[in-house]
Structure 1
C-alpha cells in the first residue's frame, strides 16, 4: 500500500492538512515467464515495484515544489498477514519487499513455452503450469493472482479445454487473450474466439484483451453485443467481464468510451503516459456515468516500466477530476470486484462447514490464530493456494478514511479467506476469518465445492447464499478462549 498525506486542508472533502491515507494497489497487467529478451519472476516483480517507489519519491519532490500535488506519497506499508507469511521462512524473507503494489495479476508472455508440445496439444499449457506454480503456493500466493492464456486458433475445442484445465486443475482466475500475437485480430468475432469468450463467461472469469488500436476495441465490442443477442449465451453473460488492455492506446477516442459504456467492458491503463493520462481521466469523467468504476490500473511489466508512475502521480495531483475514493477504485477496487470469487480448484469436495466464534477485544486472538495457521503452512501438510481479503459489494467502495481514524480503504484486511490445499493435491478447503460487531472473531472451515461453498468475497449478507449462512449457523460453536479456537481449527485440518 502507498501511504499519502494531504498537503492542504480540503474542507469540501472533510480532509485536513497532514491527514494520511492508505491506498491499496493491484496491478491488473503483469507478465511472467520468458520471451526473447524479456524475463520475469515473482522476485523480478517485487524488485520492479521497489524501483517504481523510488521513482515516485523522486517525482513527488519535483511536483511538490511546483505545487502540483494534492496528496504527497510518504511511505509504503505492507499488509500485515502477507508480510508475516514471507517472514516465516528465512528463504522467503529476502522477497519481502516491493509492497507499493499489494496484489498482482500475472499471465504468460507469448513465451518460450507457449508453442504446443505436440500436434493437437494446446498452446500455453506449460506456460499456464508455470504461472500456477508461482501463484498458488506460499509465499507468492499472498501477492500474485494467476490468469491463463490460450490460443483460440488451436482448433476444435483445444483452447476451451485448456481454459477449463487452467481453471479447474490449476486454479487460475482469469484469461488473457492477445489477438495480435496469436493472429486472430480479424477473426475476434468468429466462432473460434467466441467459443473461448463464451466459456470464460460461463466460468465467471474476467478476460483481458490486448488492444493496440481502436479497430480491435470495436471488434471486441461487436463480439459482446452479438453474444448479448444470442440466447445460447445467457449463462455466459452472467459472468462475462471484458477488460480492454491499454485502452486501445487511444485514450480520447469516442469509440473507446462507447465500448466502456457497456456494463460488461472495462479499460486498463498500462502504456498510457504523459498527456495520455489526463486525456483518459478527464474524458472518462465527462462521458461515463460512475466513470471511476470503469478503469483498472496496470503496468504491463516487463514490457513497460516507469510509465505507471504517471498514472499514480496524476491521481495524487490537483488536476485529477476525482476523489481519493475514485483513485482507490481505479488502483485496486475495480480489479478486486472483477475477481470476487475465492480461489478454488476441482480437488475440493463438498461437506458441512464448521464455525468457531470467540470474543477478541484486543485482537490478540486473531493474531494467535494466524500464527497457528502460518506455522501449519510451514510444518504441516497444507500449502496456501491464495489469501483473499473481503471487499465491499460492487458499486459501494467507500472513501478512504484517515489513518488517525481507522485507515480503512475498502479492502478488509481483518476479514479474509485462506485457501488451503493439501501438498499431495487431494484436499482443499477455505478458512474464512471475519471480524464482527461487538469484538467478535469467527473462523469458518468449509469446503470449496458443493452447494455449501463461499462463492464471493463481497462481505455483505445479501451477497452470501442463504444455504451457506443457514448451514454455518447450524454448525456454529461459541468458545471462551482463542486457544480453544486454535485447537478446534487444527483438529479439523489435521
Structure 2
C-alpha cells in the first residue's frame, strides 16, 4: 500500500491507498515475450513490482519529494509518503512464517514489494492458445486461472481471460466458461493482433461484450494508435445503445477499458471524448516521464473547463487507471508514470488525494464483478460461524483478529483450504477501506467453494468473526449497520449457529469442522 500522512490546519491524518497495476501479462507470446511465473527471481511480476518500488525510493532521495508542502482545496498541506503492506495479506504471511511449513518464505519475499498490492494479468497472444479445441485461448485462460485462483497468487493477481470474438458462439461460450468455471474476473480483447479491427462493429464483437456484461466483467481493449481507439469508442457507443433498448438492466455492468490511450494523444480532444463517455475507462500504460505530468494537467483542465462531470457524474480521475503493460514495458516506465501521480506537481496543478486513490487502484476495484453484483451464493450450505474472543488481550497482546488469521494459515499449510479470491470492505462508501475481508475459500477435499466473511466485531480487536455465508447471507462491500433491520437479520442468521473460540487451537478446531 501507499500510505499518506496529511498535515493540514495543525492536524494529522493517515490514509492508505490500495495500489493495483491494471495491465500485465501471463503466458508466452508468439513475439517472444514471456511471463510464465510471477514469482521467478529477477524477471517475475513480483520482482518487477519490487524494482518499481526501489526506483520510486531512489527518485524520492533525488528529488526530496517523499514529503512536500502543497495546496489542497485552498489550504496549505504537507503530504508524506511511505510504503506499508496490506494488513490481511501481511498478517497471513507472518502466520505462515511462524508455522515454518509451506509458504513460510512469503513474508521474506514480499518485504521488497509492499507498494503494489495486486495486478491484473491476462494472456498474451500465446504460442499455446490453440491447444484446446473448445475455443481459441482456452488453454491460455486455464493457465491464467491456475495462477490467479490459487493461493498464494490469488492474494496478488486478478485474472482476466481472453477470446477471439470472430469465433462467434465459441467466443461467447468462452466468456461464460472463463467466469463460471475458471473464476476469471475480466476479459481482454486485442482486435489488432487477432486481425478483426476491420470487423470491430460486427455482431460477433457486440455479442461478446454483452456476454461479459451479463457477468459484470470489465473488458479491456488493446489499441494501436488513435484510429483503433476511436473505433473502439464507437463500438462502445453501439453496444451501449443496444443494451439501452434490449437489456437496460445490464447497462451499469457494461465497463470497457481502452488501453494505451494517453501516450501520443496528449491534447487530442477527440481521444479524450472517446474515453469520457459512459461505461468507459482508459488505462495509462506506455505513458511515462514528463509526458505523464503534462497529460494529467491537460486532461484535468480540459475536463473541468468543459464541465465533463456532467457526462455521467464521474470526476476526471475516475476515468483513468494506472497500468504498466509488463513485461512489454519495464520498471523504468512504471516508475516514471507513478511518480507523476504522487509528486508535488500533481497536487500543485489541482490534483487531490482522492484523484491519486482513484488512479492507483480504486477505479480498478470499482469495475470488478464482485463489487457490482450481489455476493450471495444461493446453493451455499448453512455452516457454523466461529466467534474468536481473547479476554486476556491486555495481558498477552495477541488480538482475536490475528488468532483467526493463524488458524486460517494452519488450514492452508495442511492443504485443507485454498483461497480463490478476496475482496476488501469499505466504510459506507469508496473513500476508505477497512480490515474486514470477504474470502472465496475452496474446501480442497470436495472442491466446494465457501464464501467466508472475516470481520472485527470490536474495534479493539478483542472479538473477531469468521462466518461462512449461507444462501440468504449477502456480503456488502460498504459494510453493515447494526441498527439496520436487514443487517440485524444478517448477523442474527450467522450467529444462530456458532462456535466460541478463545485461543488458536480452539479456533482451528472450530474451522476444521467447517472445512
Query: 1:436: how far off?
Result: 4.3
Q: How does 1:272-311 map to 2 (within 5 A)?
A: 272-286=287-301, 287=303, 288-289=308-309, 290-305=315-330, 306-311=332-337
* Deviation readout 1:231-278 (Å, 9 max, x if unpaired): 223343231111111125324321233233323111111111123312
Query: 1:48: how far off?
Result: 0.5
Q: CA RMSD in A?
A: 3.4
CA contact (8 A) 2:92 2:406 kept: no
Query: 1:475: how far off?
Result: 3.9
Distance of aligned partners of 1:392 and 1:184 in 2 relative to their CA distance in 1, 3 Å threshold? farther
CA contact (8 A) 1:170 1:345 kept: no
Q: 2:381 aligns with which of 351, 361, 370?
A: 351
Distance of aligned partners of 1:26 and 1:66 in 2 relative to their CA distance in 1, 3 Å threshold? closer
The residue that corresponds to 1:63 in the other structure is 63
The residue that corresponds to 2:448 in the other structure is 427
The residue that corresponds to 1:234 in the other structure is 248
The residue that corresponds to 1:153 in the other structure is 166
Query: 1:134: how far off?
Result: 0.7
The residue that corresponds to 2:74 in the other structure is none
CA contact (8 A) 1:340 1:457 kept: no
Query: 1:227: how far off?
Result: 2.6
The residue that corresponds to 1:406 in the other structure is none
Q: How does 1:397-412 map to 2 (within 5 A)?
A: 397-398=430-431, 410-412=432-434
The residue that corresponds to 1:401 in the other structure is none
The residue that corresponds to 2:352 in the other structure is 323
Distance of aligned partners of 1:85 and 1:330 in 2 relative to their CA distance in 1, 3 Å threshold? same
- 1:26 pairs with 2:7: no
- 1:76 pairs with 2:99: no
Query: 1:201: how far off?
Result: 0.4
CA contact (8 A) 1:347 1:426 kept: no
Using the alignment, how far apart are the partners of 2:376 and 2:180 within structure 1?
Answer: 5
CA contact (8 A) 2:407 2:508 kept: no
The residue that corresponds to 1:111 in the other structure is 126
Q: Partner of 2:221: helix, strand, or coil?
A: strand
Distance of aligned partners of 1:460 and 1:215 in 2 relative to their CA distance in 1, 3 Å threshold? farther
CA contact (8 A) 2:221 2:259 kept: yes
Distance of aligned partners of 1:374 and 1:90 in 2 relative to their CA distance in 1, 3 Å threshold? closer
TM-score, length basis structure 1: 0.84
TM-score, length basis structure 2: 0.81
Query: 1:86: how far off?
Result: 4.0
* Deviation readout 1:193-213 (Å, 9 max, x if unpaired): 111100000111011111222
* Deviation readout 1:406-430 (Å, 9 max, x if unpaired): xxxx232x20012111224531101
Query: 1:397: how far off?
Result: 3.3
- 1:493 pairs with 2:504: no
CA contact (8 A) 2:410 2:508 kept: no
The residue that corresponds to 2:196 in the other structure is 184
Q: 1:445 aligns with which of 425, 443, 468?
A: 468
CA contact (8 A) 2:185 2:217 kept: yes
Distance of aligned partners of 1:444 and 1:20 in 2 relative to their CA distance in 1, 3 Å threshold? closer
CA contact (8 A) 2:385 2:499 kept: no
CA contact (8 A) 1:420 1:431 kept: yes
Distance of aligned partners of 1:197 and 1:340 in 2 relative to their CA distance in 1, 3 Å threshold? closer
Query: 1:284: how far off?
Result: 3.1
The residue that corresponds to 2:312 in the other structure is none
The size of the alignment, in residue pairs, is: 466
With 299-308 and 254-263 compared, the bigger mean Cα shift is at 254-263
The residue that corresponds to 2:493 in the other structure is 474
The residue that corresponds to 1:459 in the other structure is 479
CA contact (8 A) 2:388 2:403 kept: no
The residue that corresponds to 1:48 in the other structure is 48
Using the alignment, how far apart are the partners of 1:310 and 1:209 within structure 2?
Answer: 23
Q: Partner of 2:370: helix, strand, or coil?
A: coil
Using the alignment, how far apart are the partners of 1:355 and 1:397 within structure 2?
Answer: 28
Distance of aligned partners of 1:241 and 1:353 in 2 relative to their CA distance in 1, 3 Å threshold? farther
Give 5+ residue unaligned stretches, structure 2. 71-77, 310-314
Q: How does 1:214-253 map to 2 (within 5 A)?
A: 214-230=226-242, 231-247=245-261, 249=263, 250-253=265-268
Distance of aligned partners of 1:24 and 1:329 in 2 relative to their CA distance in 1, 3 Å threshold? same
CA contact (8 A) 2:66 2:81 kept: no
The residue that corresponds to 1:402 in the other structure is none
* Deviation readout 1:333-379 (Å, 9 max, x if unpaired): 11111125079999993333654556668571111011101111111
Using the alignment, how far apart are the partners of 1:301 and 1:78 within structure 2?
Answer: 22
Query: 1:307: how far off?
Result: 1.3
CA contact (8 A) 1:349 1:427 kept: no
Q: Partner of 1:476: helix, strand, or coil?
A: helix
CA contact (8 A) 1:445 1:489 kept: no
